[in-house]
C-alpha cells in the first residue's frame, strides 16, 4: 500500500521508523532485532536508507596506494523484501541520485516493482568524502527533482528507451524537506521553491530532516502551505543518544538544538545522561506533534530501537 493511502485511511497519527542496512558481513538477524521491539506499535511502513560507495586507500606491496570503492552498507532492496515478507508491513527503500546512471535507476525501479514495493523515498544523496561538492554520475541526476521526474515518467509508462511495449509502474514517491533549510541552499525561500518543484514533479509526501525544535517544523509546514505545497509533511525525529551526538548531530545534519534542550545537555556528564534526556525530549516533541495532529511521526532509529521504543510506549 502507498504511504499516502496509509495516511488517508488513518484515524490518528501513524508511527513509522527508519533503519540502516547493517555493515557488510552482518546478518539479517541484526536488522530483525532492531525491528522486533517496535512492531507492537504497528508501524504502517519502515524506511530503509541507501548508502553509496566510499573510497578507501589500500597500500600495495610496492608501497603505492590503491584507491578502492566499497559499499559498507549494501542490501537496501533485499532488506525491504525481507521486512515485507516477515512482518507484512510496507517497506520504503531510499533511492538516491549519487552513483547511479539513469539506466541503473530504471533497472533498480524495475526490481522494486517486481518485489511488490509501492513506495520510494527519492533523494539526491550527499557528496562522498573525497568530493567537496555533490557530483552526479555522468549519465545520472543532479537533483532529487530529476530522479522524481524519472520515476513519474515510469509511472506513466515512459522508460529511457521507448521502443518496447511498456508496463507502467505505480510508485508513491516521497521527498526530503528541511525545516532548518538544506545546508547548500542560499536561503529558505529558494529551498522551498525547489521543494515545490519536487512535489510538482510527482512527490506526493514529504519526510523532514530531523529537528529538535517543534516550532521550526510548524513554521516549515506553514511556509510550505503558503507556497502551495499541500502534500502531507511527515516530521522526522531522532532521539539524542550520546555525549558525542551533542556536537555530531548539529555538525552532520545542520540542525540546531533549542536553548531549553542545550541547557539540559550541558548538565549531562555521561552518555547515559544524554540518552535519558534524549528519550524525555523525544516524548516531549512527540506529544506536541501528536496534539497538532500530524499525519505520522517518523523516527530515525539509526538501527538502535531502545530509545524509540520507550518514546513510542509513551505516545502510541
CA nearest to 314, candidates 289, 291, 280: 280
Of the candidate residues 4, 13, 16, 49, the single one contacting ligand FAD (CB under 6 A): 49
**Cα distance between residue 83 and residue 90, in whole Å:** 8
All three cell numbers of 190: 529558494
Q: Which of residues 115 and 243 has its CB atom nearest to ligand FAD in the complex?
A: 115
Stretch that binds ligand FAD, among 26-34, 158-166, 182-190, 263-271 (CB under 6 A): 182-190
> Pairing mode, if any, of strands 45-48 and 203-210?
unpaired
Stretch that binds ligand FAD, among 101-109, 141-149, 162-170, 262-270 (CB under 6 A): 141-149
- Is residue 105 within the footprint of ligand FAD (CB under 6 A)? no
Of the candidate residues 7, 144, 231, 279, the single one contacting ligand FAD (CB under 6 A): 144
Find the shortest distance in angstroms from Cβ 166 to ligand FAD.
26
All three cell numbers of 25: 558481513
Q: Which of residues 123 and 154 has its CB atom nearest to ligand FAD in the complex?
A: 123
- Is residue 255 within the footprint of ligand FAD (CB under 6 A)? no
Of the candidate residues 185, 242, 271, 306, the single one contacting ligand FAD (CB under 6 A): 185
Do 73 and 20 meet the contact criterion of CB atoms below 8 Å apart? yes
Find the shortest distance in angstroms from Cβ 80 to ligand FAD.
12
Find the shortest distance in angstroms from Cβ 163 to ligand FAD.
29
- Is residue 119 within the footprint of ligand FAD (CB under 6 A)? no
Phi-psi bin for 42: left (phi > 0), alpha (psi -120 to 50), beta? left
- Is residue 201 within the footprint of ligand FAD (CB under 6 A)? no
What string marks each residue from 53 to 92 as x (binds ligand FAD by CB under 6 A) or -? ----------------------------------------
Q: Count Cα neighbours of 38 within 13 Å in the Cβ-side half-sphere.
A: 29
Residue numbers 219-238 binding ligand FAD by CB under 6 A: 236
Buried/exposed 31-55: b ≥16 CB within 10 Å, e otherwise: beebbeebeebebbbbbbbbbbeee
Find the shortest distance in angstroms from Cβ 174 to ligand FAD.
8
Do 83 and 111 meet the contact criterion of CB atoms below 8 Å apart? no
All three cell numbers of 14: 501513524
Find the shortest distance in angstroms from Cβ 223 to ligand FAD.
14
**Cα distance between residue 119 and residue 256, in whole Å:** 30
Q: Quick check: helix, strand or coil at residue 249?
A: helix
**Cα distance between residue 58 and residue 191, in whole Å:** 39
Residues in the chain: 316
Q: Which of residues 110 and 142 has its CB atom nearest to ligand FAD in the complex?
A: 142
The residues that touch ligand FAD, with contacts defined as CB under 6 A, are 49-50, 94, 96, 123-126, 143-145, 176, 182, 184-185, 190-191, 194, 198, 207, 209, 236
Amino acid at each position: 500500500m502507498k504511504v499516502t493511502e496509509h495516511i488517508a485511511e488513518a484515524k490518528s497519527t501513524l508511527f513509522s521508523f527508519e533503519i540502516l542496512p547493517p555493515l557488510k558481513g552482518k546478518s539479517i538477524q541484526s536488522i530483525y532485532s532492531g525491528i522486533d521491539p517496535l512492531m507492537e506499535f504497528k508501524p504502517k511502513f519502515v524506511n530503509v536508507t541507501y548508502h553509496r560507495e566510499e573510497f578507501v586507500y589500500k597500500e600495495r606491496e610496492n608501497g603505492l596506494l590503491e584507491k578502492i570503492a566499497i559499499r559498507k552498507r549494501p542490501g537496501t532492496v533485499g532488506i525491504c523484501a525481507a521486512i515485507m515478507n516477515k512482518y507484512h508491513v510496507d517497506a520504503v527503500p531510499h533511492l538516491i541520485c549519487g552513483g547511479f546512471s539513469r539506466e541503473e535507476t530504471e533497472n533498480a525501479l524495475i526490481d522494486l516493482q517486481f518485489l511488490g514495493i509501492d513506495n520510494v523515498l527519492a533523494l539526491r544523496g550527499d557528496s562522498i568524502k573525497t568530493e567537496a561538492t555533490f557530483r552526479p554520475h555522468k549519465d545520472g541526476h543532479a537533483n532529487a527533482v530529476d530522479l522524481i521526474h524519472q520515476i513519474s515518467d515510469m509511472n506513466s509508462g515512459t522508460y529511457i528507451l521507448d521502443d518496447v511495449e511498456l508496463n507502467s509502474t505505480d510508485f508513491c514517491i516521497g521527498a526530503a524537506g528541511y525545516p532548518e533549510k538544506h545546508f547548500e541552499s542560499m536561503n529558505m525561500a529558494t529551498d522551498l521553491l525547489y521543494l515545490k518543484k519536487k512535489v510538482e514533479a510527482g512527490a506526493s509526501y514529504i519526510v523532514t530532516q530531523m529537528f529538535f525544535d517543534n516550532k521550526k517544523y510548524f513554521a516549515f509546514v506553514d511556509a510550505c502551505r503558503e507556497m502551495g505545497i499541500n502534500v502531507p509533511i511527515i516530521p522526522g525525529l531522532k532521539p539524542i543518544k550520546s555525549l558525542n551526538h551533542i556536537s555530531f548531530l548539529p555538525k552532520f545534519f545542520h540542525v540546531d538544538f533549542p536553548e531549553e534542550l542545550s541547557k539540559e545537555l550541558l548538565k549531562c556528564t555521561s552518555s547515559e545522561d544524554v540518552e535519558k534526556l534524549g528519550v524525555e525530549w523525544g516524548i516531549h516533541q512527540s506529544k506536541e506533534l501528536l496534539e497538532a495532529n500530524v499525519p505520522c511521526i517518523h523516527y530515525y532509529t539509526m538501527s538502535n530501537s531502545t530509545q524509540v521504543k520507550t518514546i513510542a510506549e509513551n505516545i502510541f
